[in-house]
Amino acid sequence: MSEATDSMRSIFDLDGRRALVIGAGGGIGAVVAKGLSDFGANVLCADIDEAASAATSELIAGAGGASQSLRIDVTDPDDVAAVATTFRDVDVVVLTAAMNVRKRLVDLSLDEFRRVQRLNLEGSFLVIREFGARMAERGRGSIVVYSSIRAQVVEPGQGVYAATKAGVLQLVRTAAAEFGPSGVRVNTIAPGVVDTPLTASIKADEQWYAAYASKSVLGRWARPEELVGATVFLASDASSYVTGAYLTVDGGWLAADGRYTPRL
Mean pLDDT of 27-50: 97
pLDDT of residue 75: 98
Q: Which residue has the higher pLDDT, 1 or 84?
A: 84
> Over 129-195, what HEC string results?
HHHHHHHHHHCCEEEEEECCHHHCCCCCCCHHHHHHHHHHHHHHHHHHHHHHHHCEEEEEEEECCEC
Kind and range of the H or E run holding 47: strand 42-47
Question: What's the pLDDT band for 242 if we cut at 50, 70, 90?
Answer: very high
The strand pairing partners of 248, in sequence order, are: 190
Residue 199: what pLDDT? 83
Q: Where does the chain have alpha helices with state H?
A: 3-10, 27-38, 50-62, 77-86, 110-117, 123-138, 159-179, 200-203, 206-215, 228-235
Model pLDDT, residue 4: 56
pLDDT in tens, 134-179: 999 999 999 999 999 999 999 899 999 999 999 999 999 999 999 9
Domain boundaries, the chain: 3-196+225-249
**Mean pLDDT, range 2-15, rounded to an integer:** 79
What is the model's pLDDT at position 9? 81
| Alpha-carbon separation of residue 37 from 40, 89, 98, 194, 222 (angstroms) | 5, 17, 22, 21, 21
Q: In sequence order, which residues have a C-beta less than 8 Å from that of residue 147 and are 6 or more positions away? A: 165, 166, 168, 169, 172, 188, 189, 190, 246
Q: How far apart are CA 254 and CA 252, in angstroms?
A: 6
Identify the pLDDT of residue 253. Answer: 93
Is there a contact between 262 and 203 (Cβ–Cβ < 8 Å)? no
120: exposed, middle or buried (Cβ count in 10 Å: 0-12, 13-18, 19+): buried
Tell whether the model's pLDDT for residue 1 goes beyond 70. Answer: no
d(CA 191, CA 176): 20
**Mean pLDDT of all residues in 6-25:** 92
pLDDT for residue 95: 98
Residue 257 predicted with pLDDT over 80: no
What does the alpha-carbon distance between residue 24 and residue 37 come to, in Å, rounded to a whole number? Answer: 12
Please report the sign of the dihedral spanned by the C-alpha atoms of residue 234, residue 238, residue 241, residue 245.
negative
Tell me the catalytic residues: 161
pLDDT digits (tens, 9 = 90+) for 188-241: 999 999 998 878 888 899 999 999 999 899 999 999 999 999 999 999 999 999
Residue 136 confidence (pLDDT)? 98
Q: What is the DSSP letter of 260?
A: -
Q: Answer for the pair 96, 28: CB distance below 8 angstroms, yes or no.
A: yes
Q: What is the average pLDDT score of the chain?
A: 94
Give the other-Cβ count within 10 Å of 89's Cβ: 11
Q: What is the mean pLDDT of residues 64-81?
A: 98
pLDDT at 5 over 80: no
Does residue 264 register a pLDDT over 80? no
Among 96, 104, 185, smallest CA distance to 148 is for 96
What's the pTM value of the predicted model, to 2 decimals? Answer: 0.94
Q: Just give the CATH number of 3-196+225-249.
A: 3.40.50.720
pLDDT reported for residue 56: 98
pLDDT of residue 99: 94
Beta-strand relationship, 246-249 and 184-191: parallel
> Which tens digit of pLDDT belongs to each residue from 95-108?
999 999 999 999 99
pLDDT of residue 185: 98
Residue 106, Ramachandran bin (φ over 0: left; ψ between -120 and 50: alpha; else beta): alpha
